[in-house]
Structure 1
Amino acid sequence: MVQMKPKLIAMLAGAALLAAGAVYLIGRGGGNPDDEAALSGSAAALDAAATGEVANFRAGAPLALPEVRFVDGEGRDRTLADFRGKLVLLNLWATWCAPCREEMPALDALQAEMGSERFEVVALSVERNGLELARAFLKEVGAAHLGLYTDTSGKANFTLKAFGLPTTLLLSPEGEEIGRMVGPAHWDSEDAKALIEAALAAY
């Protein structure tokens, strides 16, 4: 078997993420500078707030999502509908995804600072090896403010068209997707917090 050098692997992974982002943007009708002019109201405000550490975030018109099923830390069945009424930052991750592992403490810090009756970070593990592996990892990195949610079927990735990990979706209080970011981000940065504040004001 041909062995690939780590640098080549990283380049291929980066290309895959870019391709996934392109597929998503095409599906949403984005990817063109003129599209920003087409955004109106809340979407435009959110798009304008996506700068600095979250400059790769792409806002769009509210998009209804299909049902996504998973379980919580107690093994109870949950769906995204359970979070209606809140702005939700939905992060899809897995323990085998290095960038996911690196950004988890930042997601935890964002939840600790901004989590409320109006906003929640929902970190959804798509770890096929089960609930306990995800639980152990969150404990390992000291993520004490995030709920434990996992989809061992891996269906969430396909249902939400998340073609690379991590992928983070921002959901309106009505449960509609209003934007997403493919790849990791410093979610505890001032840029990220400003994005969430803009979404709370707009939606």
Structure 2
Amino acid sequence: MALTLSRRHFAAIGAGLAAPGLASLAGFGKSARASDLPDAAGALGEIMPVPPPPFHFMNAGGRRLTLAHYRGEGLVVNFWATWCGPCTRELPTLAALNKVLLPDGIRVLPISVDSSGARAVEPYYAKHHIEGLPVLVDPSSSALAAFHVDGIPLTVLIDRKGDMVARLEGAGDWNTPATAAKVRRLVGGAKPPVTQT
């Protein structure tokens, strides 16, 4: 299930305010377990290939990026935040998927919508031992507006031609053989390994 938040909630989180009921919605205090998540292979909805909406994001150094920077690679693009309980249970499974698929030329791009950007993500990765994933941020949540969604997590698959071919609104367990096989099939199979960034 996706965590649906209004723009007011995003603003409250960004300002460090406690919006009524927000803590329970975001799953604060829940342990980072994937055992209660559905297998992403079954939850992932295939769509007719369509170009994704234009949006940008930044790396930890502040460099502005778009999906065009990864042209020719298969992509699993995930929008998440450190304060989102379902996101934090899902993220380790995405890290595991990334490790499995990098040799096939497919990478996971976890894009955080935390308003404080890399300052929130870098310590979160360190504290929770998230390895092998880049620090990517969209502090203004412009990508969520481009995709016309208010909830996270949201994951989209981008094939090697740059088209969106599947999406999952809500969290899933990406660390399963069935999911890895489905991602390979949907993005266009195995290609030479990509360089980890």
TM-score tier by shorter-chain length is: 0.7 to 0.9
Instruction: Tell me the C-alpha RMSD between the 2 structures.
Output: 2.3
1:79-158 residue pairs with structure 2 within 5 A? Answer: 79-116=66-103, 118-158=105-145
Contact 1:86 1:117 (8 Å CA) reproduced: no
Q: Look up the match of 1:183.
A: 170
1:171 pairs with 2:158: yes
Contact 2:87 2:171 (8 Å CA) reproduced: yes
1:58 pairs with 2:45: yes
Tell which structure's C-alpha radius of gyration is larger.
Answer: 1
- What are structure 1's unaligned runs of at least 5 residues? 11-50
- Alpha-carbon separation, structure 1, partners of 2:137 and 2:188: 30
Contact 1:86 1:172 (8 Å CA) reproduced: yes
- The structure whose residues are more often helix, as a share, is 1
Q: Look up the match of 1:37.
A: none
Paired amino acid for 2:97 = L
Matched residue count: 159
Which structure carries more relative contact order (alpha carbon 8 Å, separation 6+)?
2
1:194 pairs with 2:181: yes
Give how far 1:191 is off: 2.2
- Alpha-carbon separation, structure 1, partners of 2:131 and 2:39: 27
Give how far 1:80 is off: 1.1
Identity %: 26
Contact 1:130 1:152 (8 Å CA) reproduced: yes
Which aligned runs of 4 or more in structure 1 are off by greater than 3 angstroms?
Answer: 200-203
TM-score (norm 1): 0.71
